[in-house]
Structure 1
Amino acid sequence: MELDLGAVRAFLAVVDDGHFTEAADRLGVSQQAVSKRIARLESDLDVALLTRSRTGAVPTEDGSAFLPHARALIGLADQATALLRARHRPLRIDVLARVAAPLDVVRAFYEAGGVDVDIVVSRGATPRHVALADGSVDVAFGRATGELPGIRRVPACLEPIPILVSRRHRLARRRSVPMAELAGVTAWMPGCGGESEWADYYRRLGAEFGVTIDTSGPVFGGEHVMDEIAASPELITFGTTRQFPAHPDVVQVAVTGPTPVYPWSLLWHEANRHPAIGPLVAHVQARYRPFDPRTQWLPDRALFSGSRRSGSRPAPPTGS
């Protein structure tokens, strides 16, 4: 005998709702269809599963005995369906921001072909380890510090960070400036306070090289920041022209000796079995260029030093 899962679902719906009409609404079918499914299930099992009355329906003794097995059966069927759907849905990738290096990595991966992706821009609204653990996203980019239970990671890329200055600033005509020359300068970065990963990065950068990181003032958007930088012969901000709206009186200057680089990692939860995670990890590892302590600076060196695969665990399997 083979049980009809549709009939088992109808039985559970009636038990949970107490009425055939409400069960039919939940299942999106007619009341007559629910009655026929349950009658067929009772016939297959050769027992009465429900006691019907004007006030509703309740399980019989046999129905109560069958109930936990029915729930387990439907639960397994739903899990199997969800697993197969997950294997064929797009890979959900949190790039943190659309104006950062991870988006270029993901674009190259997508253009290589064969994998659909769904871009998520969280801007850190939800902690990555939480989003990865609950399946809101499959993989995420960010500056990963410390150990997170169940989270695996590999170094992804090191993004050089220049400065933006007014055309009236003394550094405006320079193609590059040594980091040591920025000692004593104030970098205005509104909204970069608090406990975010980038706020910590710039606090450590400022402490290392004697740069004052000024996070004061409300955040009115990129245009406001550019207007203020353009109007000041002294202020600078760390960032690229890609991150901010174009301004005719603001120029970008590279920082050297060393160049500060933002350390992006690729993270995923070890329990996530999406088949595209393995290919993405392999793509990231193939593109990664290791940290060079002679020319670059970053606060998190352990994961990013050495070979391309330094600090990483083997890529996850692409199967289930």
Structure 2
Amino acid sequence: MELSNNRHAEGSQPSGVHEGEGDLDIAAVRAFFAVTEDRYFSEAAARLGISQQAVSKRIARLESDLGMRLLSRSRTGAELTEDGKAFLPHARALVNAADQALAMLRDRRRALRIDVLDTRTAAIDLVQGFYEATGRGTDIEIVGSEGLRSARGTLARGTVDAAFCRVSGTVEGLTCVPAYLEPAHLLVGRDHPLAGRRRVETARLAGSTVWMPGNAAGSEWAEYHCHLGAAFDIGIDTSGPDFGYEHFVSEVGAGRRMSLVGERSRLPWHPDTVRIPLVGPVPVYPWSLLHHPRNRHPALRLLIRHVTGGYRPFDPRSQWLPDPDRALFTPGPRSR
């Protein structure tokens, strides 16, 4: 059945065939569907942003095109006739198909919106790698947030298309793809006893305290470090305030603190700080790519393919993960 916003051109019609038969006006179908949901023409008009008279005209035109009465009015609102009941599922399908087509066209025109939490984290490297892999032809918009706490809502509403964050359990209505396991480094001042080592066994940190002023209460990264501290007897000091990265590295460089940072964390250079890889096992931070399964942005599928193509699964022989994260990151990678 052909859809159109225009009537047939004037001309003779075969006997017994209604003018416009086989050519439905999608605006009229939408008006009919709105009335069936709201029951009143006035409420349907408000939803569609047109006058009540316009709704009435559209439905009258649809009934004329179909050659059947679809609605009957009463004091309690519009009621479906038997023909209206039969047509309703088809009307719903037509409206949904039109909405999906319009959404697809809008998505093709706008940038892929990606939440990376912070442009100094490993997530930005994943996005840059994707951008380069697509020949720099993908329009990307970077969005900052509060990690998983805000990503749940923005992904559900469609204000972002994908988010890189730690996801240790199922997030209702969203799909999670394992993206990257980032090794942890120890950050110390040059006068620290461990500063001259090329690598440090994680167990050597038992009984010590690391300073993590950016570990916001309730965040997925604060929870991760709580698991890490419990597993290796490491104290986690979240005292602040958090004055930013420059203050953070200067405090460590002055020998007042030591901390843990991701291997790919982009910290400001400081002459008195040293970064040392942790080993035996290597604590790894689990980055996941989170998205809505009904998001149809064409570049999103390319991003997912790029991320899954470069992913290397968790190796329990040499790496450490909190127990809640292991199911998603254990070979082989899978979505949920």
Task: Calculate percent identity across the aligned residue pairs.
Answer: 46
1:4 and 1:87, CA in 2 relative to 1: closer, same or farther beyond 3 A?
closer
Q: Distance in 2 between matches of 1:105 and 1:153?
A: 16
Displacement of 1:240: 5.0
Q: Are 1:179 and 2:196 matched, yes or no?
A: no
**Equivalent in 155, 158, 167 of residue 135 of structure 1:** 158
Residue among 298, 305, 308 paired with 2:330: 305
1:104 aligns to 2:125 (yes or no): yes
Equivalent residue number for residue 159 of structure 1: 182
Q: Structure 1 223/130 Cα, relative in aligned 2: closer, same or farther at 3 Å? A: same
Change (3 A) 1:134 1:247: same
Note the alpha carbon deviations across 1:36-57, whole angstroms, 9 max, x for none: xxxxx9xx9xxxxxxxxxxxxx
Cα deviation digits, residues 14-58 of structure 1 (max 9, x gap): xx99xxxxx9xx99xxxxxxxxxxxxx9xx9xxxxxxxxxxxxxx
Structure 1 residues 87 and 126, CA gap change in structure 2 (3 angstroms):
farther
Show the 5 A alignment for 1:38-117. 83-88=100-105, 89=107, 90-113=111-134, 115-117=138-140
How far the C-alpha of 1:276 sits from its partner, in A, is: 2.9
The whole-number CA distance in structure 2 between the counterparts of 1:240 and 1:264 is 11
For the pair 1:252 / 2:277, whether they are aligned, the reply is: no
Deviations 1:90-137 (A, max 9, x none): 322212221222222222222222543322222328532222221121
Counterpart in 2 of 1:48?
Answer: none
Candidates 244, 253, 264, aligned match of 1:230? 253
**CA displacement 1:138-163 (0-9 Å, x = unmatched):** 22111111112222222111011112
Quickly say closer, same or farther: Cα 1:82–1:94, change in 2 above 3 A.
Answer: farther
Say if 1:185 and 1:235, in contact at 8 Å, map to a contact too: no
Q: Which residue of 1 aligns with 2:169?
A: 146
Contact 1:189 1:238 in 2 (8 A): yes
* CA contact 1:179–1:255 (8 Å) conserved in 2: no
- The alignment of Structure 1 onto Structure 2 pairs a total of residues equal to 300
Is the 1:174–1:253 contact (alpha carbons within 8 Å) kept by the matching residues of 2? Answer: no
SS of residue matched to 2:327? coil
Aligned-partner Cα distance in 1 for 2:125–2:216: 27
Contact 1:150 1:271 in 2 (8 A): no
- Contact persistence 2:183–2:262 (CA under 8 A): no
The AA in structure 1 aligned to 2:225 is Y
Q: Is 1:199 paired with 2:222? A: yes
**Mapped partners of 1:278, 1:189: distance in 2:** 35
Structure 1 counterpart of 2:286: 263
Unaligned runs of 5+ in 2: 1-20, 35-40, 51-61, 66-79, 81-90
Query: TM (normalized to structure 1)?
Result: 0.70
Measure, in 2, the Cα distance between the counterparts of 1:82 and 1:250. Answer: 58
The two structures, once aligned, show a CA RMSD in angstroms of: 4.4
When residues 107 and 295 of structure 1 are mapped into structure 2, their CA distance, relative to the original with a 3 A threshold, is same
SS in 2 for 1:302: helix
- Quote the Cα distance in structure 1 between the aligned partners of 2:295 and 2:266: 35
Residues of 2 paired with 1:164 and 1:79: CA distance? 54
Hey, what's the Cα distance between the residues in 2 that align with 1:301 and 1:147? 13
Give the whole-Å Cα distance in 1 for the aligned partners of 2:176 and 2:92.
32
1:146 is paired with a residue whose SS is coil
- TM-score, with normalisation over the residues of structure 2? 0.67
- Which amino acid is the alignment partner of residue 119 of structure 2? R
Please tell me whether the aligned partners of residues 97 and 123 of structure 1 are also in contact (alpha carbons under 8 angstroms): no
Gaps of 5+ in 1: 18-22, 28-40, 45-64, 66-73, 315-320
8 Å CA contact 1:169, 1:234 repeated in 2? no
Q: CA deviation at 1:271?
A: 2.3
Paired residue type of 1:112: A
